[in-house]
Amino acid sequence: MAVPKQRKTTSRQGNRRSHHGLEKKHLGTCSNCGKKKLPHRVCSFCGYYKGKQVIDVMSDLEEEEKEEREEEIDQKPGEGGMSLEGLSRK
């Protein structure tokens, strides 16, 4: 049976596994509410896709939660205060 003559170093092992790392998710922003979302998918916060409402997210919420979410959707980032992206650009 074949046995390796010398042990592989940890750096060689690391180089071999260098492409096994996780990739960062590429997130876009929802055109309706401004939250982060995956591209080509419905926004899970407001239910919009390409400017049209596809899913009624509000139907499953209670009255208090509905009011809070509607207020948050109405106040888009950039209105009333600086978003994190706006602060990082300065």
* pLDDT band at 59; cut points 50, 70, 90: confident
> Given phi > 0 = left and psi -120 to 50 = alpha, else beta, which region is 62?
beta
**Rounded (5°) CA angle 18-23-25:** 175
Nearest partner of 73 among 42, 43, 50, judged by Cα: 43
Q: What is residue 80's predicted lDDT score, i.e. its pLDDT?
A: 47
Q: pLDDT by residue (tens digit) across 67-90?
A: 887 887 777 655 544 455 554 554
From the CA atom positions of the chain, what is the Rg in Å? 23
Q: pLDDT by residue (tens digit) across 12-45?
A: 999 999 999 998 989 999 888 888 999 999 988 8
CB 42 within 8 A of CB 49: yes
Domain ranges of the chain: 25-75
Q: What is the pTM of this model?
A: 0.52
